[in-house]
């Protein structure tokens, strides 16, 4: 070995070469790995796809949030309606048929909400699947990036080693000029390839960063949406239980009323056999009501000028009590009702049956003009409360318990829905029910016209 050869070897293999090679590779790769170093904008299909995926996921999440908001609003409305129906059912504040219609409607709404929830769950599952695929894509891209970084590191080390050997020495040591030129061309090409590889690594790093952001954002939003959907499911289950409970209560109430109505029908049949009692009932149901009505009309005329009773009424009424309508307004086959016009038997109000002592409420705001037993009734007398809503419109609540609740006395102002008594069977009644009548300008009128 010559001295020149020894010097050449010494230049190529300096002391601590392995350490220097490693430090050099790290130093050259550092710009691509340091997140705080500004990276030139890269326009590449991978990055564009990742950004597009981010926008698509953001829209999907926004759509699910909007659907969740609609579902929440729908369930809130449903909860309020269920609460109202339960209140009506508990106090029997409206007719049984209307409560049944409400429950049927609520059942339909609940089915709609359930369908919306099911759709949202399917979308949630799709979002989680896409999140899994996105996570796998990120991992694959990270692996590809690591591999390319390793290739570039090894090639940079090889280039560094070559750069320590002058090209002249490569020419002198080459077997031929062709080999030497080939080597020089190879290393020149290698530099271009390294540059392209470095650019690709920077591009991959941007794509990985974008994918990682997509995964992080989607994961957080998916977790939040999943929690919210879970809360909706719990509320949905609670509403289903409440609706089922309301349906059960309604079925029990119907059964109770069927028994009560059967008893009343038996009493009506027995009354028809007794002509004396029937005559008294006809007088009570017809003549006594007209006599009391005339007296009330006079009282209202006398008080109309004081301003306590308004001259006009243009509102609507609410059912004073819920239950089953056992006899509607108009011509009827019930023999105890009096003749009116061309009808041999005419009912001048609406009879509503419910469990005895069911609360009765004022159909609208007004002034109490009568509270007590009908003085024109043949014994037994019916207890009733009469409320004037204007000088021309009056409501009657008859056959109630013979005791006025607090705040109900002649001259008292009552609000719509205020308690005026409890359902009972005072007077000529075949069972617990409320006789609700509306008198307009001295004539009994169908109460349904005001509902």
pLDDT tens readout for residues 206-248: 877 787 787 777 777 777 777 777 787 787 788 888 878 878 8
Q: Quick one: 380 and 252 in the same domain?
A: no
Q: Which of 206, 225, 257 is the last residue of a domain?
A: 257
Could you tell me if residue 116 is inside a domain? yes
Contacts of 95 (CB under 8 A, 6+ apart): 319, 322, 323, 324, 325, 352
- How many helices (H) does the chain have, and how many strands (E)? 8, 12
Domain range spanning residue 242?
11-257
DSSP state of 130: H
Q: Which of 76-90, 210-224, 256-270, 435-449 has the highest mean pLDDT?
A: 435-449
Q: Quick one: 423 and 377 in the same domain?
A: yes
Q: Quick one: 241 and 328 in the same domain?
A: no
SS3 content of the chain, % helix, strand, coil (to 5): 60, 15, 25
Could you tell me if residue 262 is inside a domain? no
C-alpha torsion sign, points 373, 374, 378, 381: negative
Q: Is the pLDDT of residue 415 over 80?
A: yes
Which one is predicted more confidently, 196 or 12? 196
Beta carbons of 315 and 363 less than 8 angstroms apart: no
The C-alpha atoms of residue 259 and residue 249 are separated, in whole angstroms, by 16
**Which pLDDT belongs to residue 103?**
78
Confidence of residue 384 (pLDDT cuts 50, 70, 90): very high
Could you tell me if residue 198 is inside a domain? yes
**Token pair belonging to 207:** 């794509």
Confidence of residue 144 (pLDDT cuts 50, 70, 90): confident
Q: Quick one: 222 and 308 in the same domain?
A: no
**Which pLDDT belongs to residue 365?**
95
Distances in whole angstroms, Cα of residue 409 to Cα of each of 125, 261, 298, 307, 416? 64, 32, 18, 18, 16
**Arithmetic mean of pLDDT, 136-160:** 76
Q: Quick one: 198 and 336 in the same domain?
A: no
Q: Is the pLDDT of residue 329 over 60?
A: yes
CATH assignment at residue 444: 2.70.70.10
**Which pLDDT belongs to residue 398?**
95
Least confident of 89-93, 195-199, 444-448: 89-93
The C-alpha atoms of residue 240 and residue 438 are separated, in whole angstroms, by 39
Instruction: Give residue-wise pLDDT tens across range 417-433.
Output: 999 999 999 988 878 99
Could you tell me if residue 155 is inside a domain? yes
**Which pLDDT belongs to residue 161?**
64
Confidence of residue 198 (pLDDT cuts 50, 70, 90): low
Which one is predicted more confidently, 316 or 9? 316
The C-alpha atoms of residue 237 and residue 155 are separated, in whole angstroms, by 64
Mean pLDDT over the full length of the chain: 75
Task: Report the largest interatomic distance among the alpha carbons of the chain, rounded to a whole angstrom.
Answer: 151
Query: What residues form DSSP beta bridges with 343?
Result: 340
Which one is predicted more confidently, 186 or 83? 83
Q: How far apart are the first and last CA of the chain?
A: 120
Q: Quick one: 160 and 31 in the same domain?
A: yes
Least confident of 28-37, 59-68, 279-288, 371-380: 28-37
Q: Quick one: 285 and 248 in the same domain?
A: no
Angle at 312 between CA 307 and CA 315, to 5 degrees: 125
The C-alpha atoms of residue 77 and residue 235 are separated, in whole angstroms, by 12
| Tokens 């002592």 sit on residue | 357
CATH assignment at residue 229: 1.10.287
**Which pLDDT belongs to residue 36?**
41
Instruction: Give residue-wise pLDDT tens across range 293-317.
Output: 888 888 888 776 566 788 888 888 9
Confidence of residue 55 (pLDDT cuts 50, 70, 90): confident
**Which pLDDT belongs to residue 271?**
55
**Which pLDDT belongs to residue 445?**
94
What is the number of structural domains in the chain?
A: 2
Residue 440's closest CA among 348, 353, 356, 371?
348
Confidence of residue 28 (pLDDT cuts 50, 70, 90): very low
Q: Quick one: 280 and 232 in the same domain?
A: no
Q: Which of 224, 257, 290 is the last residue of a domain?
A: 257
Could you tell me if residue 270 is inside a domain? no
The C-alpha atoms of residue 355 and residue 254 are separated, in whole angstroms, by 10
Which one is predicted more confidently, 174 or 32? 174
Residue 424's closest CA among 345, 339, 358?
358
**Which pLDDT belongs to residue 392?**
92
Which one is predicted more confidently, 160 or 150? 150
Number of residues assigned to the chain: 451
Contacts of 67 (CB under 8 A, 6+ apart): 116, 119, 120, 123
Confidence of residue 8 (pLDDT cuts 50, 70, 90): very low
Angle at 249 between CA 247 and CA 254, to 5 degrees: 95
Beta carbons of 338 and 346 less than 8 angstroms apart: yes
Q: Quick one: 245 and 299 in the same domain?
A: no
Q: Quick one: 293 and 339 in the same domain?
A: yes
**Arithmetic mean of pLDDT, 30-54:** 56
Q: Quick one: 128 and 30 in the same domain?
A: yes
Could you tell me if residue 428 is inside a domain? yes
Q: Is the pLDDT of residue 2 over 50?
A: no
**Arithmetic mean of pLDDT, 41-53:** 65
| Tokens 């326009």 sit on residue | 43
Confidence of residue 280 (pLDDT cuts 50, 70, 90): low
Q: Which of 76-90, 99-113, 299-313, 402-416 has the highest mean pLDDT?
A: 402-416
Could you tell me if residue 2 is inside a domain? no
Q: Quick one: 297 and 247 in the same domain?
A: no
- Could you count the other beta carbons within 10 Å of the beta carbon of residue 140? 12
- Could you count the other beta carbons within 10 Å of the beta carbon of residue 294? 12
Could you tell me if residue 6 is inside a domain? no
């Amino acid at each position: 070995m010559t001295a020149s050869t020894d010097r050449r070897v010494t230049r190529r293999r300096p002391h601590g070469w392995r350490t220097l090679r490693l430090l050099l590779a790290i130093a050259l790769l550092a710009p691509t790995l340091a997140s705080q170093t500004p990276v030139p904008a890269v326009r590449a299909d991978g990055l564009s796809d990742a950004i597009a995926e981010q926008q698509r996921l953001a829209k999907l999440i926004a759509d699910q949030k909007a659907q969740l908001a609609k579902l929440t609003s729908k369930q809130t409305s449903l909860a309020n309606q269920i609460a109202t129906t339960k209140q009506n059912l508990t106090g029997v504040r409206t007719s049984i048929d209307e409560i049944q219609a409400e429950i049927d409607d609520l059942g339909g709404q609940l089915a709609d909400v359930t369908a919306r929830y099911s759709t949202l769950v399917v979308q949630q599952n799709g979002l989680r699947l896409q999140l899994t695929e996105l996570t796998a894509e990120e991992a694959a891209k990270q692996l590809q990036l690591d591999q390319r970084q390793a290739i570039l590191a090894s090639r940079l080390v090889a280039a560094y080693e070559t750069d320590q050997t002058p090209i002249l020495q490569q020419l002198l040591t080459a077997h031929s000029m062709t080999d030497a030129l080939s080597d020089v061309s190879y290393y020149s090409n290698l530099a271009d390839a390294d540059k392209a590889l470095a650019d690709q690594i920077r591009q991959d790093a941007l794509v990985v960063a974008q994918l990682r952001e997509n995964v992080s954002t989607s994961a957080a939003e998916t977790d939040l949406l999943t929690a919210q959907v879970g809360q909706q499911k719990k509320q949905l289950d609670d509403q289903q239980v409440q609706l089922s409970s309301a349906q059960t209560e309604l079925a029990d109430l119907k059964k109770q009323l069927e028994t009560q109505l059967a008893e009343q029908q038996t009493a009506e049949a027995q009354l028809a056999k007794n002509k004396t009692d029937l005559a008294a009932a006809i007088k009570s149901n017809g003549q006594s009501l007209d006599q009391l009505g005339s007296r009330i009309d006079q009282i209202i005329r006398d008080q109309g000028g004081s301003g306590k009773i308004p001259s006009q009424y243009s509102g609507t009424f609410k059912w004073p009590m819920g239950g089953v309508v056992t006899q509607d307004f108009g011509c009827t086959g019930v023999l105890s009702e009096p003749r009116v016009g061309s009808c041999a038997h005419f009912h001048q109000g609406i009879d509503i049956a419910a469990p005895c002592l069911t609360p009765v409420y004022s159909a609208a705001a007004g002034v109490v003009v009568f509270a007590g037993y009908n003085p024109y009734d043949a014994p037994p007398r019916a207890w009733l409360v009469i409320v004037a809503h204007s000088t021309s419109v009056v409501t009657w609540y008859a056959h109630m318990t013979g005791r006025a609740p607090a705040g109900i006395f002649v001259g008292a102002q009552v609000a719509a829905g205020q308690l005026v008594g409890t359902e009972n069977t005072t007077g000529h009644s075949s069972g617990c029910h409320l006789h609700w009548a509306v008198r307009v300008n001295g004539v009994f009128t169908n109460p349904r016209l005001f509902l």
